[in-house]
Amino acid sequence: MFGKSGRQRTSGPRPAQVPGAGAAGADWSAHTQLEDAVRSYLLHPDVAMEALGSVLGRRPVRGFTLERVVDINANGTSVWQEAAVCDDRRLVLWHSEDMTDPSAPGGTVLDSSVQVIPLGSVSHVGIRTLVGTDNDGRRQLRGAFVFLATPTLQEVATVRGEDGASTGRFRQEAYRFSKSLEDGGPGQIRRLLEFAEVVAARVPGPR
């Protein structure tokens, strides 16, 4: 549900407005306050802030990253959105996606979800960067990929080998985030890395 590892991107434009939502899509990386960033970027900021605020309360926000993907297909336009927020003890994830509902006015509803992960349950933080050069030959950060995992099993599948024997395949609960020059730009790359560093600094070590 959370993290974009399973999302399929489309090559079409990302519209600035979707029916029933406010204008959005500006580069949020210049905003240090969560609400300011959400209102500049997400298409349903009131829904996002209400959901996040009910969990965060008065706890300070130490870092966050935002993502939005617009899918354009034969059925129209749908928007997948995500906010990942770290306070001192938890990772709070908000996710929304347009869902088809013929009984609703307009034919769609917004599926909004919140998940809370104690930082003590994060068992692995992976940070990968892509470093290249710009047109003048200067070093340039071109992408960032962040991987967070917990020991919780998310999927158990049976795999049949070439000899016909079956074995179990286990996959841990994991959350993936990425930014590139084409998807977010240099500011959002930097903010994603800052978010990852905040999370990594607060993950408890072995006891």
> Where do the structural domains in the chain lie, given as residue ranges?
28-201
N-to-C CA span, the chain? 31
Residue 105 pLDDT greater than 90, yes or no: no
Rounded distance between C-alpha atoms, residue 70 and residue 182, angstroms: 14
Could you tell me if 67 and 45 are in contact, meaning their C-beta atoms sit under 8 angstroms apart?
A: no
CA dihedral sign, ordered 156, 203, 81, 45: positive
CA dihedral sign, ordered 72, 115, 53, 191: negative
Could you tell me if 177 and 193 are in contact, meaning their C-beta atoms sit under 8 angstroms apart?
A: no
**Confidence category of residue 110, pLDDT binned at 50, 70, 90:** confident
pLDDT at 206: 67
CA dihedral sign, ordered 95, 98, 103, 105: positive
pLDDT at 154: 64
**Confidence category of residue 101, pLDDT binned at 50, 70, 90:** confident
**Confidence category of residue 17, pLDDT binned at 50, 70, 90:** very low
Reported as a single tens digit per residue, the pLDDT across 147-201 is 999 988 766 666 676 777 766 666 778 999 999 999 999 999 999 999 999 999 9
State percent of the chain over pLDDT 70: 78
- 174 or 5, higher pLDDT: 174
State percent of the chain over pLDDT 90: 59
Residue 21 pLDDT greater than 70, yes or no: no
